[in-house]
Every structure is written in structure tokens, then in C-alpha cells.
Amino acid sequence: MKLPSGILVLTVLSFATSCARKPASISALQPTAYGNAIVESSGDKQVAQIGATLHDPVVVQVNDDKGNAVTGALVEFSAASGVVFDPVSALTDSSGQVTTNVSLGGMSGRYELTASTFDKSHKPIEVKINETALGYQQTLGRQLNEKYCERCHNPESTVERVSNYDNLAVKPHPFNEGGTLNKFTDADLTAIISYGGPALNKSALMPAWGNTLSKAEIQGLIAYIRAVSDPPLHGSEATFKSN
């Protein structure tokens, strides 16, 4: 009876030692301080193609109750599956900030990212950051916007492109002005793009593009406008929240 039990013990031992170990937990960072509030410093409301890395990194700052920056607090980022953070968690630096590069998920729509930290009593405090991912149609719309529309509709100039906005007697609406543009239906937008301002009793400074742009291109532009409008048009696009 001794021999079989010895074999049994050996078998159990060999299995125990050879079974794969679980890897050490991912977040090996230990915070050295705790904050009271977390705010977004920059990188909110960006627009990028699906799967692409956002042009600017997302920067959040942890403050204490007096509003001073907290160094050494642990900030963790989370979002719907598909979004990749680099890094996914970090300790705040000397100015209380954490920077992360964000790659959006594979589906078009609005993504709600969450940056969270803990206060002294281990209660979680969060800030939500919104980014927009453009699918094919919206990307096409963005390309068309940069070529045809942005010179007049965007009041900001860049080094490469001087804005025409100030030269217009009647100012056009920037495309992210959701307060105004959400009131137009898709049919309204199609009409004004195709037939010019007079189609909706607006200034003729808006030309008629119906002969220059195809129907698919106009639909792409409208999809882009809906994607970037802030606040978003209700029910226009899916929103992916952190899970």
C-alpha cells in the first residue's frame, strides 16, 4: 500500500509544480499620494478614424481639495473594449498630470473614456472624456470638409490654410456647433448643400454644391457633421461607454 500512495503523492506534486502559474497582477504601481478631484487637462473632444491613435495625448490632472496638484497618485484609464491606452495606468508626475496615448476602437461612434483615481478613503473619483471615431462614410466627409468647406466654416486658421471666415458678411456655422446644426434634419442639410443657402432662406454666400459633389459625397458630409456635432444629435450614433 505504501508504493501506490508514494506514486500518488509524486504525481500530485509534479502536476502542482508544472501547472502554469498565473502572471503577476498587471498594475504593480503603488500610489504614494491621493487626490480629491481629477480633471481633464487636454485631449478631450478629438476626432480620429476608427482604430487610429488620437493626434494629441489625453492628459488628466489630479488635484487635492485646495486645488493643488498631487504627485504620485495612481490614475487608471478604462473604456469600452477595443480602446487601447498607452499606458493604461500611471502615477501622476510633479505637475500632477498623467499623459496617455489613446487608440480608438474598431467601431465608429462616440467613445466615453474614464480616468479614475482613488481618494484617501479609497472612494473612486472619475472624469469622463469624450472622443469620436469616424467610420468610412464620416472619413470621406472629413476629407471633403477639409477640401471644400473648412476654409469658410472654420474660424481658426492654421499655418497651411488661412481661414476665410472673417471675410464673409454672413458668418457660416462651424460644423461642431451642435446647438444649431442638430435642428436641421438630414433632408435640410442635403437641401442646403445641394442648392445653396437660398434653399433654406439663408445667404447665397453658401454656394450650391449639388453639381460638384455626388449624392454619396453629400451623405458622407452629413454623416461627418453628425459625428462631430457637440452636443451630439440624439440617436444619431452609438456611444461606447466604459464597461
Residues at the contact surface with other proteins, assessed by CB under 8 A: 49-53, 55, 80, 82, 101, 103, 105-109, 135-137, 139-140, 143-144, 147-148, 151-152, 159-162, 164, 166-168, 197, 203-212, 216, 219-220, 223, 235-240
Report angle CA 37, 83, 123 to the nearest 5 degrees. 25
Separation CA 80–CA 108 (nearest Å): 12
Q: How far is the CB of 114 from other proteins (least distance, A)?
A: 16
Identity of the residue, 43 or 109, whose beta carbon is nearer to other proteins in the bound complex: 109
Q: CB 43 → other proteins: shortest distance, Å? A: 15
The CA distance from 223 to 75, in Å, is 35
Question: 62 or 144, CB closer to other proteins?
Answer: 144
Provide the grid cell at 240.
Answer: 461606447
The torsion angles phi and psi of 146, rounded to 5 degrees, stand at -65, -30
**Nearer to other proteins (CB atom), residue 135 or residue 178:** 135
In the complex with other proteins, the residue whose CB is nearer, 11 or 203, is: 203
Residue closer to other proteins, measured from CB, 35 or 226: 226
Closest distance of CB 239 from other proteins, Å: 6
Minimum CB–partner distance for residue 63 and other proteins (Å):
29
CB-nearer residue toward other proteins: 51 or 87: 51
CA distances from 196 to 6, 111, 141, 143 (A): 90, 33, 18, 20
Cβ proximity to other proteins, 124 vs 198, nearer residue: 198
Least distance (Å) between residue 178 CB and other proteins: 16
* Residues 61, 92 contacting (CB under 8 angstroms): yes
| Integer angstrom CA distances of residue 29 from 88, 92, 98, 120, 155 | 11, 11, 14, 16, 44
As measured in angstroms, the least distance from the Cβ of 117 to other proteins is: 26
Assess contact for 171 and 161: CB atoms under 8 A: no
Let me know if 205 is exposed, middle or buried by CB neighbors in 10 A (0-12, 13-18, 19+): middle
Point out which residues pair with 49 in neighbouring strands: 134
